[in-house]
Chains A and B, each alone.
Chain A
């Protein structure tokens, strides 16, 4: 019973906390809300007219939505990079970052699920895909695996920080033997969600561009670069705008993670390019299309070239200690890297898989305004969710949000 009372108070307090803030905060939330509304409007058009309002077609049957889904799975998985040292290696300076990282994972996962839902032709019968109520094609379909691992990971990432915050909210210490198993599980699980998502594509013999053993590992490498890069940026903002104190040490350690992952990612890119272009087979056509264009069709060229350029520049910036230790350089590098990997793991991975088609036909793909609107809406939703989670977590961690019993509250009020 007491737990329920505390919980109820936590909900009330956090609603209270998230609806109050500086002007900048309100402006930020307002912009997100408007973007979400625009996204919902675009989605309502899509519901009405079907997926014909998108740029997809029978030949390129997945586009912007699945690209974003793929990328965000990586971002979600990257939280593990923080979880492991904090909970298990007891690395103290990560402790504050980890709550932020897990909040980011929750937001990213919800965005993933949203991207999958908007990509469905029949969102009204989505229950067919649920275990038990629907008909689950387990273990044959990789998509069913993905449903399980994504939701499982979401569950872990909600419960572990929730428990810790809940304890802190009451002014108690969190018990390690309660949360460590969860944290440990989430480490393996994060690798799992990422590999399973890679297998989703890797397992299709029909698409040689994806049917390649490096896909899974490369996925991981790029995720461990992009995810922590985003976390660094978020921490930088939090450090500036709130009382939450994040030490330089934490950011510096994180930047090491980003650097190593970015370097590995680049090595794998080179290895992939070598294989495709030194001894090309007809399986290399998708890669040709992606990097050089095929038959005068080159819609993806500006994207991928920008991506490679940003990738290389940011990796160089990160590699040199002098540069990396300057925070402004570091933040710039993180922004570049994040965008580079977003392009590479989204557009650069999903779309060329379909081009050329099974019989060599090249059908190009351009997302439509509605698709972009829905996508922005989902990103705004993610940011919105994250802001709420982070705000509550920060207030609890800094001791500003505490559960106070009724009598104490009354006393406090009298005193004030």
Chain B
């Protein structure tokens, strides 16, 4: 088949597909991808439409326009008959992923559909299964975190656990948590502290303090994001939709707590180290050019477990729990200890407290 023929075919097929799509492509007449594909369901609202509630014809014409543009550029070839079924399915998934909407605004079905697509595409790529959740916040839960300065000894087990749990890029050694080594007698002087040390800990005459994203109640990072790719969930966790982020890094400039990390290059996690227990808003694999951050291990905390850092800490310096539950440890700490927060004058209301024994 000649090149030009291939191209003509592609274009026409994409058009057909979208014509069917707009009156739903249930039934066996759709020849795009195998029917058993779980992600290939009729979706009413996804992609542009989710935010672009225009009349049907305007919507589909927009879709067609972009389809033809992309097909013209050779970027997509959704239903190329030359390829085998798997390739077809792959390109269809990537097509749908490219034009899906913002997770925050998706309906439950749309959330499921995109999760299924991602799981399926991992399966197609590696032949292995993945467990990805889209579990939402529970009612009457608001997460908070407390850090005991007297107990932290600077072992950094939390950092390592966090990196493994959250599939952070190994090449750039991305870390959400920083442990600052402070000199006794200087007070809380971050300027004189070290957050990179290679000696035996705890070092004489020093104390240790961890920082990470503080999940501010009035988060400047959320406010500045031009695309609403980052927001606060009902349970207080500040999350990022990695597929919606355009990578402008405005949120990084706005965060007063150094809470955000950027994928400057394609993140790499060795296959055997990959944590396959994932959440869409948490530790699923990121791509290059997007921002990410601590999510209080959303894949764990929403299942009722502690974040990996809390679990890994050998001294028990880290306390995590539901602020709305009067019997939780975190509530006990807030009520009985002298707690303080960092940079309180900025009014960001972090949900992260420090205290001393």
Chain A residues with CB under 8 Å of chain B are: 49-52, 54, 56-59, 61-62, 116, 119-122, 124-126, 128-129, 132-137, 140-144, 147, 200-201, 203-207, 282, 285, 353-354, 356-361
Contacts and interface: CB of A to CB of B under 8 A. Distances in A.
A132 B243 CA distance: 18
The prevalent SS among residues of A at the interface is: loop
A361 to B, nearest CB: 7
Contact of A359 (B98, B211, B260, B290): B211
15 contacts: A52-B172, A52-B264, A56-B264, A121-B245, A121-B288, A122-B245, A133-B48, A135-B228, A140-B224, A141-B225, A143-B250, A201-B253, A358-B255, A358-B258, A360-B192
B112 interface: no
Interface residues of B, number: 56
B258 A357 contact: yes
B265 A49 contact: yes
Given A56-B264, A128-B244, A205 B228 contact: no
A282 to B, nearest CB: 8
B93 interface: no
Given A121-B246, A125-B246, 16 more contacts: A58-B258, A58-B260, A119-B248, A121-B245, A121-B262, A125-B98, A129-B246, A129-B248, A133-B51, A135-B227, A137-B225, A141-B250, A200-B250, A206-B253, A359-B258, A360-B192
Given A52-B264, A58-B262, A141-B250, A206 B346 contact: yes
B289 A204 contact: no
Contacts of A119: 248-249
B252 interface: yes
Nearest 10 CB-CB pairs, A to B? Answer: A121-B247, A121-B289, A360-B191, A206-B256, A52-B265, A52-B264, A50-B288, A143-B226, A359-B190, A50-B265
B220 interface: yes
B254 interface: yes
B134 interface: no
Interface of B: 48, 51-52, 62, 98, 101-102, 105, 172, 178, 180, 189-193, 195, 211, 220, 223-229, 243-250, 252-258, 260-266, 287-291, 346-348
Interface centre among B98, B191, B192, by most chain A C-beta atoms within 10 angstroms, is B191
Given A52-B265, A121-B246, A207-B253, A141 B290 contact: no
B343 to A, nearest CB: 8
Nearest to B254: A204
A205 B256 contact: yes
Nearest to A207: B253
A99 to B, nearest CB: 34
Contact of B289 (A51, A201, A357): A51
A280 to B, nearest CB: 13
Given A132-B52, A356-B191, A359-B193, A204 B226 contact: no
Contacts of B258: 58-59, 357-359
A128 to B, nearest CB: 4
Contacts of A357: 258
B247 A122 contact: yes
A206 B247 contact: no
A120 B291 CA distance: 11
Interface centre among B62, B229, B287, by most chain A C-beta atoms within 10 angstroms, is B229
Given A50-B289, A133-B52, A120 B248 contact: yes
Contacts of B228: 135, 137
Nearest to B255: A206
Contacts of B249: 61-62, 119, 121
A140 B223 contact: yes
Nearest to B104: A135
A356 B195 CA distance: 14
Interface centre among A56, A61, A200, by most chain B C-beta atoms within 10 angstroms, is A61
A407 to B, nearest CB: 40
B72 to A, nearest CB: 16
Nearest to A358: B258
A358 B256 contact: yes
Contacts of A128: 102, 227, 229, 244, 246
A204 B251 CA distance: 10
